[in-house]
Amino acid sequence: MRSAAFNAISDKVRAGERLTAGDALALFEEPDLLALGALANEVREQKHGDRAYFNRNARLEVTNVCYASCNFCSFAKLEEGMPGAVTLTVPRAIEALRSKVDEHTTEVHVVNGLHPGLPFEYYEELLRALASAFPHAHRKCFTAVEIHFFAQHYRMSVRQVLERLIAAGLQSLPGGGAEIFHPEVRTRIAHDKATGDEWIAVHRESHALGLMTNATMLYGHIETFAHRVDHLLRLRELQDESLKLGKGRLQAFIPLAFHPDGNGMQKLPGTTGVDDLRTLAVSRLVLDNVEHLKAYWVSSTPKVAQIGLSFGADDVDGTIVSETIYSAANKKAPEGLTVDDLVRLIREAGRIPIERDTLYNVVAEHPRAALEGQFKVRERLQGRHLQVVS
Amino acid sequence: MIRIAGVGFLNAAPLMHGLESDPDVELFLGPPAEVARRLAEGECDVALVPVAAAANIGEIDLLDLGIVARGPVRSVVVAAERPIEELERVLLDASSRTSVILTRLLLRRPGIAAPPHEVIASIEGNVGGLIIGDPALEVEGRFPHVFDLGEAWNQRTGLPFVFAAWAARRGALTEAIVARLRRAAVEGLAAREETATAYARARKHDPERYVSYLRDTISYSIDDAAERGLARFLSDAAAAGLLPPPDVRVVRDRSVPRRPSIDSLLTRAADGGRLSMTEALRVYREAPLFELGLAADAIRKRKNQPSVVTYIVDRNVNYTNVCTTSCKFCAFYRPVGHEGGYVLSREVLGQKLQEVVDAGGVQILLQGGLNPALRIEWYEDLFRWIKATYGLGLHALSPEEILHIAQLEKLDVATVLTRLHTAGLDSVPGGGAEILVDRVRRAIAKAKCTSDEWLGVMRTAHRLGLRSSCTMMYGTVDTDVDRVVHLLKLRDLQDETRGFTAFFCWDFQYERGTRIAPGDHGTVLYLRTQALARLVLDNVDHVGASWVTQGPAVGQVALRFGADDWGSVMFEENVVSSAGTTFRMNAAGIEDLVHRAGFQAVRRNVRYDHLGTPA
Ligand code: SF4
Ligand code: SF4
């Protein structure tokens, strides 16, 4: 029961043509989920074959104090001295990480609230301390929202902020804080932090300085499909520019499913499994210039992430030793997964587990499942998917 | 050592001459269904199987030696008191699928499966009976009208009919096996008279009838004409939807035919065609996820209203947790005498049932451990009380529990089911099927009933007019072959009885307290397994999504992989929830999830009749 529009779009995808906003909207509305998934899977297998990536990472928030008031975030309006407010000194931060980082950890991931009372030097000091304590772990720190906040708060340009942080040891930016770019949505859920344009400007600047970054989208709350499409197209445009410049770029796109519990948007229904997979698939098809797509297991649950590896995703993120933003809102997600868990998760999905570092260099290739009953993913010619006429 | 399985019928004896005393041969003799099972499950190298069983397994090589009729066969007949054209019904001895299928092709009359002794006893007036094997020879001359199926086939097609043949998995007929079987046949054909005479004497029958049967009626070589007859039968049966398209060949030389592509298998299944065991296994292992899903989705749409997903408001009540079985995967049971053991009182039960009624529920699922303190009268009283007080549908007592009661009371299963049915039982839940392969069953629960016992309870229940669901719990020590075998056993029984309403599957849910190693099996495997079941169980109307074990999000996706039912709104689910899975959902939650997965949610009863959408 796939629509006529879908058939035209799949012809375009197979011919390597770029999809329009109208196409993307039609894909979000396509009733035939399997046809959509199969098409995204075709693109995914062309780019990555049967490979599926994960890394060993450790996360930390040095502060959850935040002056902003995003509706979906449990840190919103948390002030120093309020119950639950925590700000770590640099030595304490390093100490907290020691229990999570071992010699195999390839990435430390630091994101924080927008703390109005810390000096900028605090962040520089933090980066230098990370570099000396864990020289083998790539430092992926501060969302674009934080960078933008630093620039405003410490009266510098974004470029100056980035240059100083890079000098102190910053190696790449995570993709957080993107939410939904479109002002109709953003002003209602995250009105007092970087706008969509400002978020993009930070990444553009970062790319120009040679940094790799990621991008996210928080979906499944008050936004429409059109808002999601707008979000994806803005990212695609940014990536076009950055690729032209040839320095840094977006490495991975990560759709984040909105979870309604434990935050200021509890009345919303949250996403469905179908929506999670659909969003992955459309993202894969629309973001033709972004190499990697993550089925972030913390957000979608490991069960859905497994299926996501057939709906366009090629990455499940990392072992993640702690993840407060999500675990505050969603108690169902486990605390962290071991490497064995992730290897098994990927194998069970019929893919080859590849441990990567932040820049997608291969750290270790785990052999494909010796699991009984594993399924071969055949090399498929374009368009040879079964058509069931019903 | 050659492992050979054969049937104990007289007409097969010439093919097996001398095998029993050969030290290099391990010979098993049993009923045809058991022989076919051994071949399917790899427990023998070569087997003398009915040709329908060979087609059902698929990718089979047949040796050109078998049981062939070139005219009347005498041992496969429909006997009646009236002329065949006047019969309204034919009772079928279901022990030979080949003969049942042949009857269906030749005599377009409604057939009803029944055990052999009942068939003969029931022949009366316009009810005929299909009699097979030695009993057919024994009743020769007793009925005025006899319709010989071998003869009828020959008259219709001008071809011989092949009933059974030596069969092996493709490529497994080694020269050693072929040589041994040919030698047995040469010796056996020469000794036919002695064999028949000894057989008749042992039964105090007239030897001449048996000698002529073996020597003149049955022929043993599958020549070109017989092979054409075989091909014709298999393709007619496939066209009638009774067998998968033939994928058996008669081996004379070593030519290897091309296998059908995975795409063509999926297309066939999506169009309602039948898959053989080997084909199902290939699809399970090799078909890309989406294509498997699309084929399953096509079947769901054909068998059901495409936009509707059903669910039922019911409650799972575990009336006792005392159990003598101690299955390794079960964290729910308590041994007899354990302080944590319970039997729910009427008071507690009554409260639970009232809540079901108040919530608009239409049935309860009543299951429990195998508690030796509870006698059949206890169940009868309970059922009558529930019916009288709450009027709820009773989906109760899995086959394991029925067998337990039968043993405890020293009654046969039919009597137990009849009594419980009279007391109010409406349908039998399909739990406890696990994997219907005894090696697996023994490994996960020594005391569990055998596959045949489980299937036997269901067969009896269906014949008494009870419906049931069927299930599969995979992911313990089972292989993919075991799962396919399981599905085929369900399909075979369903061909016979049409009593299964729906199929559910899930993977073993590990929890501390069980004695099976933890193992997550993954949601992709779940979707593949459910979709495969939708393809293989072409004669079962409904497939349910096991969201309780896979989670609601995966449950929604499963609706695109062949499922048309969301199971029940649950108040409690002890057997699963004490194994760590704690998804719960109320009717509004279910309707919302189903709706947001793109379907209309409709309430149903246990027979899957739609009850309309509540306001
Ligand atoms: S999402 Fe970020 S900016 Fe918004 S309240 Fe939370 S920590 Fe602050
Ligand atoms: S699964 Fe059933 S039969 Fe087995 S131990 Fe548990 S309650 Fe008893």
- Structure-token pair, residue B218: 């049955």
Please give the pLDDT value at position A255.
96
Whether pLDDT at B253 is above 80: no
Please give the pLDDT value at position A370.
44
Share of chain A above pLDDT 90, in %: 67
Question: Whole-angstrom Cα distance, residue A23 to residue A28?
Answer: 9
Please give the pLDDT value at position B110.
63
Q: pLDDT confidence of B182, banded at 50, 70, 90?
A: confident
DSSP state of B16: G
Q: Provide the H-helix boundaries in B58-163.
A: 97-106, 116-122, 134-138, 149-157
Q: Shortest CA distance to B165 belongs to which of B274, B36, B253?
A: B36
Pocket-testing residue among B332, B405, B434, B573, ligand 2, by greatest number of atoms within 8 A of Cβ: B332
Q: What's the pLDDT tens digit per position in A195-254?
A: 999 999 999 999 999 999 999 999 999 999 999 999 999 999 999 999 999 999 999 999
Q: Which of B476, B554, B557 is the best substitution to test chain A (most A C-beta atoms within 10 A)?
A: B557
In chain B, the largest separation of any two C-alpha atoms, in whole Å, equals 78
B524 and A344 within 8 Å at the Cβ level: the answer is no
Please give the pLDDT value at position A327.
46
Question: Whole-angstrom Cα distance, residue B382 to residue B394?
Answer: 11
Instruction: For strands B600-604 and B46-50, give the pairing.
Output: unpaired
Identify which has the larger pLDDT, A323 or B346.
Answer: B346
Q: Which atom of ligand 1 is nearest to the CA of A77?
A: 5
Question: Whole-angstrom Cα distance, residue A72 to residue A264?
Answer: 6
A113 three-state secondary structure = coil
Share of chain B above pLDDT 90, in %: 35
Q: Which residue among A37, A269, A276 places its CB closest to the CB of B592?
A: A269
- Domain locations along chain A: 50-377
- For B401, other C-beta atoms within 10 Å of its C-beta total 29
Angle B224-239/B97-106 helices, nearest 10 degrees? 80
Angle at B274 between CA B272 and CA B277, to 5 degrees: 145
Whether pLDDT at A266 is above 70: no
Instruction: Compute the average pLDDT of residues A139-154.
Output: 97
Q: pLDDT confidence of A32, banded at 50, 70, 90?
A: confident
Which of A202-211, A366-375, B345-354, B523-532 is least confident?
Answer: A366-375
DSSP state of B576: H
Q: In the predicted model, what is the mean pLDDT of chain A?
A: 87
Residue with tokens 């030793």: A321
B285 and A375 within 8 Å at the Cβ level: the answer is yes
Angle at A8 between CA A7 and CA A13, to 5 degrees: 95
Contact B173, B61 (CB under 8 A): yes
Whether pLDDT at B257 is above 60: no
Please give the pLDDT value at position A219.
95
In order of A115, B43, B536, the CA distances from B40 in angstroms are 68, 8, 16
B205 three-state secondary structure = coil
Question: Whole-angstrom Cα distance, residue B405 to residue B370?
Answer: 8
Please give the pLDDT value at position A264.
60
Q: pLDDT confidence of A1, banded at 50, 70, 90?
A: low
Q: In the predicted model, what is the mean pLDDT of chain B?
A: 86
Q: pLDDT confidence of B75, banded at 50, 70, 90?
A: confident
Contact B394, B425 (CB under 8 A): yes
A276 and B302 within 8 Å at the Cβ level: the answer is no
- Structure-token pair, residue B89: 């019904």
DSSP tally for chain B: helices H, then strands E: 25, 22
Question: Whole-angstrom Cα distance, residue A386 to residue A35?
Answer: 10
Counting other chains too, the contacts that A9-13 makes at CB distance below 8 Å and 24 or more residues apart are A9/A39, A9/A285, A10/A35, A10/A39, A13/A39, A13/A42, A13/A43, A13/A285
Where b means 16+ CB within 10 Å and e means fewer, B72-103 reads bbbbbbbbbebebeebeebbbbbbbbbbbbbb
Whether pLDDT at A35 is above 60: yes
- A50-377: which CATH number, 2.160.10.10, 3.60.70.12, 3.20.20.70, 3.30.420.10? 3.20.20.70
Domains of chain B plus CATH, in order, are 2-70+161-252 (3.40.190.10), 76-157 (3.40.190.10), 316-543 (3.20.20.70)
- Structure-token pair, residue A79: 């002030």
Instruction: Compute the average pLDDT of residues B362-366.
Output: 88
Instruction: Compute the average pLDDT of residues B555-569.
Output: 92
Q: What's the pLDDT tens digit per position in B87-102?
A: 888 888 777 778 888 8
Contact B536, B280 (CB under 8 A): yes
Instruction: For strands A212-219 and A250-257, give the pairing.
Output: parallel
B98 three-state secondary structure = helix
Pocket of ligand 1, beta carbon within 6 A: A 66, 68, 70, 73, 75-76, 113-114, 145, 190, 193
Contact B371, B318 (CB under 8 A): no
Please give the pLDDT value at position B128.
86
Which of A90-104, B131-145, B555-569 is least confident?
Answer: B131-145
> Considering only CB atoms, which chain A residues are within 8 Å of B485?
none
In order of A22, A327, B474, the CA distances from B478 in angstroms are 48, 36, 6
> Considering only CB atoms, which chain A residues are within 8 Å of B556?
272-274
Q: Which residue of B has its CA nearest to A303?
A: B523
Rg of chain B on CA atoms, in Å: 26
Q: Which residue of B has its CA nearest to A30?
A: B598
Question: Whole-angstrom Cα distance, residue A369 to residue B222?
Answer: 45
Q: Shortest CA distance to B283 belongs to which of B50, B459, B483, B443?
A: B483
| CA of residue B239 relative to chain centroid, distance | 21
Rounded to 10 degrees, the C-alpha dihedral B276/B490/B492/B171 comes to 30
**In the beta sheet, which residues pair with residue B318?**
B367
Q: Which residue of A has its CA nearest to B561?
A: A34
B541 three-state secondary structure = coil
> CA of A117 to nearest chain B CA: how many angstroms apart?
42
- For B193, other C-beta atoms within 10 Å of its C-beta total 14
**In the beta sheet, which residues pair with residue B167?**
B47, B62
Where b means 16+ CB within 10 Å and e means fewer, B33-45 reads bbbbbbbbbeebb
A273 and B554 within 8 Å at the Cβ level: the answer is yes
Contact A257, B552 (CB under 8 A): no
- For B70, other C-beta atoms within 10 Å of its C-beta total 18
B520 and A384 within 8 Å at the Cβ level: the answer is no
Q: Which residue among A34, A41, A272 places its CB closest to the CB of B596?
A: A272
Instruction: Compute the average pLDDT of residues B176-186.
Output: 84
Rg of chain A on CA atoms, in Å: 20
Contacts of B24 (CB under 8 A, 6+ apart): B1, B2, B180
Q: What's the pLDDT tens digit per position in B589-613?
A: 788 889 988 899 998 888 888 886 5
Q: Amino acid letter at B201?
A: R
Whether pLDDT at A376 is above 70: no
Q: Amino acid letter at A342?
A: L
B509 close contact with A: CB closer than 8 A: no
Please give the pLDDT value at position B585.
60
A344 and B297 within 8 Å at the Cβ level: the answer is no
Identify which has the larger pLDDT, A323 or B477.
Answer: B477
Q: pLDDT confidence of B125, banded at 50, 70, 90?
A: confident
For ligand 2, say whether the CB of B327 is within 6 Å of any of its atoms. yes
Q: What are phi and psi of B511, to 5 degrees?
A: -150, 150
Instruction: Compute the average pLDDT of residues B277-286.
Output: 91
Question: Whole-angstrom Cα distance, residue A234 to residue B590?
Answer: 36
Whether pLDDT at A323 is above 50: no
Whether pLDDT at A265 is above 70: no
> Considering only CB atoms, which chain B residues are within 8 Å of A276?
553
Question: Whole-angstrom Cα distance, residue A198 to residue B248?
Answer: 68
Contact B229, B157 (CB under 8 A): yes
Q: Which atom of ligand 2 is nearest to the CA of B368?
A: 7
Question: Whole-angstrom Cα distance, residue A283 to residue A293?
Answer: 8
Q: What's the pLDDT tens digit per position in B189-215?
A: 877 888 888 888 888 888 888 888 888
Q: pLDDT confidence of A335, banded at 50, 70, 90?
A: low
Question: Whole-angstrom Cα distance, residue B490 to residue B536?
Answer: 10
Identify which has the larger pLDDT, B511 or B47.
Answer: B47
On whether the pTM is more than 0.90, the answer is no
Share of chain A above pLDDT 70, in %: 87
Q: What's the pLDDT tens digit per position in B569-593?
A: 765 544 444 444 444 567 777 888 8
Instruction: Compute the average pLDDT of residues B396-422.
Output: 95
Question: Whole-angstrom Cα distance, residue A273 to residue B291?
Answer: 19
Contacts of A375 (CB under 8 A, 6+ apart): A350, B284, B285, B286, B287, B289, B528
Whether pLDDT at A328 is above 60: no
Burial (0-12, 13-18, 19+ Cβ within 10 Å), B357: middle
Contact B502, B608 (CB under 8 A): yes
Top-ranked range on mean pLDDT: pick from A128-142, B148-162, B241-255, B342-356: A128-142
- Structure-token pair, residue B437: 């392969």
Contact B376, B413 (CB under 8 A): no
Q: Provide the H-helix boundaries in B391-505.
A: 399-409, 413-423, 438-444, 451-463, 480-497
Q: Which of A6, A32, A33 is the best substitution to test chain B (most B C-beta atoms within 10 A)?
A: A33
Q: Which residue of A has its CA nearest to B581?
A: A332
> Considering only CB atoms, which chain B residues are within 8 Å of A385?
288, 290-291, 294
Q: Shortest CA distance to B473 belongs to which of B427, B445, B432?
A: B432
Burial (0-12, 13-18, 19+ Cβ within 10 Å), B209: middle
DSSP state of B217: I
Question: Whole-angstrom Cα distance, residue B235 to residue B540?
Answer: 23
Burial (0-12, 13-18, 19+ Cβ within 10 Å), A367: exposed
**In the beta sheet, which residues pair with residue A107?**
A57, A138
Q: pLDDT confidence of B259, banded at 50, 70, 90?
A: low
Please give the pLDDT value at position A19.
97
Q: Shortest CA distance to A301 belongs to which of B566, B507, B556, B296?
A: B556
Please give the pLDDT value at position B239.
87
Q: Amino acid letter at A370?
A: A
Question: Whole-angstrom Cα distance, residue B88 to residue B236?
Answer: 23
